[in-house]
Amino acid sequence: MQKLYSGNEAIARGAYESGVKLASAYPGTPSTEILETMVQYSEIISEWAPNEKVALDVAIGGAYAGVRSIAVMKHVGLNVAADAFFYVSMTGIEGGLVIVNADDPDMHSSQNEQDNRRYAKFARVPCLEPSDSQEAKDMVGAAFEISERFDTPVLLRITTRIAHSHTLIELGERPAEADDDTPLTYRIDRTKYVMVPGNARKRHPIIEERIKELSQFAEDFAYNLVEMGSAELGIVTNGITYQYAQEVFPRASFLRLGMTYPLPPALIRDFAAKVDRLVVIEELDPFLEEEIRLMGIPVEGKSIFPIVGELDAGVVRDCATQAGLHPPSPTASPPPIPPLPMRPPLLCPGCPHRGVFHITNKLKVVVNGDIGCYTLGFLPPLSALHTCGCMGASIGVAHGANKAGAKQKNVAVIGDSTFFHTGMPALLNTAYNKSDTVTIILDNRTTAMTGHQENPATGFTLSGKPTFEVDFEALSRALGIEHVSTVDAYDLEEVETALRAALDVDGPAVVIAKRACALLPVARKDWMPIEINPEQCNGCGLCFKIGCPAIVRSEEKDAKTDRFLAEIDPLLCTGCEICAQVCPRDAIYFRDEMEIK
């Protein structure tokens, strides 16, 4: 029976059915669920790595040792893993190696838009792109066959709409020989696997030759589909766009490329010759378009369809209509709607990051942020973050600004998972090159933003097994930081005292603000809504400034100030008491006052 699988679940299943033995990843939307699904297959060793570069090196190690291995990451993860991506293209592998990469057109949850098919060409690595979950599953198998046949890593590229769309798939089985227990003999081959210049010079022509052979292979690759319809319009497309294009042009001719690098020149030339007008419909970069134009074939693409954001059937139709490719559709314009109140993502009620930002605001330091839930501290009313670029950037940027002699002190704010990802070398740098940078590690005991993954500070692995737990104080000291303190992120006085002391230190310092994410089960069991004492509240509004969704405006006004009193939504409040500490009139009950009130 067919089952509904998301693209991510299908890829995990595909890995299982392909006999994959080793999987390593760092979480990141939209690819996170791939490993979270993979770990349910006990035959596969599935691990969270501290970052994508490590994840890819781990998978490469598996492939060098001779087993099918897979590394998974979101698009920006491949920037982090790029160094490894390039060397493994040069060395090739023993067992198959597939890198699953999820691009995020429209940046649903990312800091930038980038088209990672560019990496495939850049590193001479073949790139496969499925158009639905069935193909996502099956192409994992195809990718491993290509990897082993051509001695190359393979990039399996999906986008958010493939990753997070559910479509029907037919399940297969795992080959029995995949789990044969005979110990592996590691094959030593120094000229192939030691990439010193002398060896690398020998490898480079080989990989250039490999790409030529792959381009030949692509001519009959089963996932490069030609579907002839009317000769008036020939559409070249890939991935999810194939679905949109079919919906808009049910009668056109299609060349759907399942392998988007390298391309099959004869197949494309032949298709182009059979149609009157050749158009590429692809999301993000004009990747296929440029390649086809380089073949000397006249083609249109980005002159019709946008280069930014996501496409959908509606966008494809509208653009095609403008270009005269599609008859105008009778469109009734939607009714005018007044501007609606937004629901931007917010720091949750009880979020331990909130109080730290209240204090950094109070001390008027420049806050260099990083990537995680705390990035949301940039939103009003906190407006507490002043820079944020990519994972691990905060500490280096703060160090640079401090070295440059900025008048205001620059601090770095970084989450536990992000600190392991790329924060550690940057912290070492503040010690090595001595700046007055204060690094605040927001240790909320989880990787929250991507949905609560374990990390080296949580004491558990991806498969739920207990493991060692990093001691941030010891780690910071080992990295050369002498002034280190740990505070409870819910205790504003403690946070303020520690931060002031750290700012006064001559040299780098670390403050670890520790408190479990309010949505973790351990924290949930302590939820206890607190209340406002309407007799004491005079509507000053200071509690609104911490931006807690649980604090709302009541209907009641203070007689003297004529301002609305505050109220706490008992369904949202967790009882973190940050508002109670901020209130200058003691108008918010602390937990222990709730009982006696």
Partner 1 sequence: MKAINFLVVGVGGQGALLASNVLAEVGVRAGFDVKKAEVHGMSQRGGSVNSHVRWGEDVKSPTISQGEADVLFSLEKLESLRYVSMLRRGGVALVGEFKIPPLTVSSGADAYPTDNEIAHIFEQVTDDFHFIPTLTLAKEAGTSRAHNVVLLGALSSLVEDVPEEIWLEVIAERVPEKYVEVNQAAFQAGRLVS
Q: How far apart are CA 516 and CA 450, in angstroms?
A: 15
Q: Does 416 bind partner 1 (CB under 8 A)?
A: no
- Measuring CA to CA, how many Å separate 391 from each of 49, 52, 84, 117? 15, 11, 18, 22
Q: How far is CA 162 from the centre of its chain?
A: 15
Residue 409 DSSP class: P
Which of 13, 21, 53, 74 is the binder for ligand TPP (CB under 6 A)? Answer: 74
C-beta of 74 vs 399, nearer to partner 1: 74
C-beta of 313 vs 363, nearer to partner 1: 313
Q: How far apart are CA 538 and CA 534, in angstroms?
A: 8
Which residues are paired to 237 by β-bridges? 256, 281
Provide, rounded to whole angstroms, the least separation between the CB of residue 207 and partner 1: 35
Bond into 30 cis (ω within 30)? yes
C-beta of 428 vs 501, nearer to ligand TPP: 428
C-beta of 373 vs 431, nearer to partner 1: 373
Q: Does 153 bind ligand TPP (CB under 6 A)?
A: no
Q: Does 447 bind ligand TPP (CB under 6 A)?
A: yes
Residues 415-434 that bind ligand TPP (CB under 6 A): 415-418
C-beta of 19 vs 372, nearer to ligand TPP: 372
Give the one entry of partner 1, ligand TPP, none that residue 80 binds, where binding means its C-beta sits below a cut-off of 5 to 8 angstroms depending on kind.
ligand TPP
What is the chain's alpha carbon radius of gyration, rounded to the nearest angstrom? Answer: 27
C-beta of 318 vs 593, nearer to partner 1: 318
Residue of closest CB approach to ligand TPP: 415
Three-class SS state of 321: helix
539-569 burial code (b ≥16 CB/10 A, e <16)? bbbebbbbbbebbeeeeeeeeeeeebbbbbe
Q: Does 448 bind ligand TPP (CB under 6 A)?
A: yes
Which residue in the block uniquely carries the two structure tokens 């497309």? 237
Segment lying near partner 1 (by CB under 8 A), choices 171-179, 312-320, 469-477, 497-505: 312-320
Of 64, 40, 62, nearest in space to 49 by CA:
62
Which of 247, 270, 526, 586 is the binder for partner 1 (CB under 8 A)? Answer: 247
User: Taking CA 335 as the corner, what is the angle to CA 329 and CA 340, rounded to the nearest 5 degrees?
Assistant: 130
Q: Does 464 bind partner 1 (CB under 8 A)?
A: no
Give the one entry of partner 1, ligand TPP, none that residue 341 binds, where binding means its C-beta sits below a cut-off of 5 to 8 angstroms depending on kind.
partner 1
Segment lying near partner 1 (by CB under 8 A), choices 165-173, 268-276, 361-369, 396-404: 165-173
C-beta of 198 vs 338, nearer to partner 1: 338
The letter for the amino acid at 172 is: G
Give the one entry of partner 1, ligand TPP, none that residue 150 binds, where binding means its C-beta sits below a cut-off of 5 to 8 angstroms depending on kind.
none
Residues 391-410 that bind ligand TPP (CB under 6 A): 391
Which of 46, 147, 152, 160 is the binder for partner 1 (CB under 8 A)? Answer: 160
Give the one entry of ligand TPP, partner 1, none that residue 396 binds, where binding means its C-beta sits below a cut-off of 5 to 8 angstroms depending on kind.
none
C-beta of 122 vs 564, nearer to partner 1: 564
Provide, rounded to whole angstroms, the least separation between the CB of residue 439 and ligand TPP: 13
169-193 burial code (b ≥16 CB/10 A, e <16)? beeeebeeebeeeeeeeeeeeeebb
Which of 8, 360, 444, 458 is the binder for ligand TPP (CB under 6 A)? Answer: 444
Q: Helix axis angle, 241-248 relative to 313-322, nearest 10°? A: 60
The letter for the amino acid at 269 is: R
